[in-house]
Amino acid sequence: ETGVTQTPRHLVMGMTNKKSLKCEQHLGHNAMYWYKQSAKKPLELMFVYNFKEQTENNSVPSRFSPECPNSSHLFLHLHTLQPEDSALYLCASSQDRTLFGEEQYFGPGTRLTVT
Amino acid sequence: QKEVEQNSGPLSVPEGAIASLNCTYSDRGSQSFFWYRQYSGKSPELIMFIYSNGDKEDGRFTAQLNKASQYVSLLIRDSQPSDSATYLCAVHTGGGNKLTFGTGTQLKVEL
């Protein structure tokens, strides 16, 4: 495996379900991110982890719960979601070597549909 | 005011022409600027990044940055149908590694 991988690629869940999204990066990076992409809206940053520590929570509802056990793996736990949470969820990673922003590499995304 | 603004398009150019994509940003302290390409149903793919005022060229792509005017642009020379995609501008704002994305410009290269 190379780059950033995400599983599952597609997920349909009911509002009462609990599911998890998984992201793994094979780039040796130290920062990982969750983004939400909805139609006609800019990419929306949800969470940032640097060296396994959460450094950004962009006012995300508590029904989204991130977990970062190590610098290579990132999870997004989902529970009691709403239909408006249906979107493409993207994971990204970066080296985290500069204070001035650096390029991020994206995984293929998970297309989530909440019914 | 949006932090990062792009014309949503679609921008249509004939094959072989130069496509010019523009982006303006509001944070005067921004230091790093990125262009991503996103094909329909796919994830964003990094094309280029630029930190300094002026031009940066990579193959058919040229990024241009003007910090005084707070805009960054992407030129695509000899446009090909395979360049048809949505182009996202991303700007580093504030501290840490946070990137703020524009809504993207849809480019259509027509035969």
Query: Mutate which of A2, A21, A29, A43 to disrupt the B interface (most B C-beta within 10 Å)?
Result: A43
The pLDDT tens digits for A8-19 are 999 999 998 999
The pLDDT tens digits for A38-52 are 988 899 999 999 888
Contact B97 A41 (CB under 8 A): no
pLDDT of residue A2: 76
Which residues on chain B are in Cβ contact (under 8 Å) with A99? Answer: 95-96
The pLDDT tens digits for A56-90 are 888 999 999 999 999 999 999 999 999 999 999 99
Contact B96 A104 (CB under 8 A): no
Q: Does A40 touch chain B (CB under 8 A)?
A: yes
- Percent of chain B at pLDDT > 90 equals 79
Q: Does A25 touch chain B (CB under 8 A)?
A: no
Which residues on chain B are in Cβ contact (under 8 Å) with A42? Answer: 4, 88, 100-104
- Residue A107 CA neighbour count, 13 Å, CB half: 32
- Selection from B100, B98, B80, B97 nearest residue B89 by Cα: B100
User: Which residues of chain B are under the pLDDT cut of 70?
Assistant: 1-2, 94-95
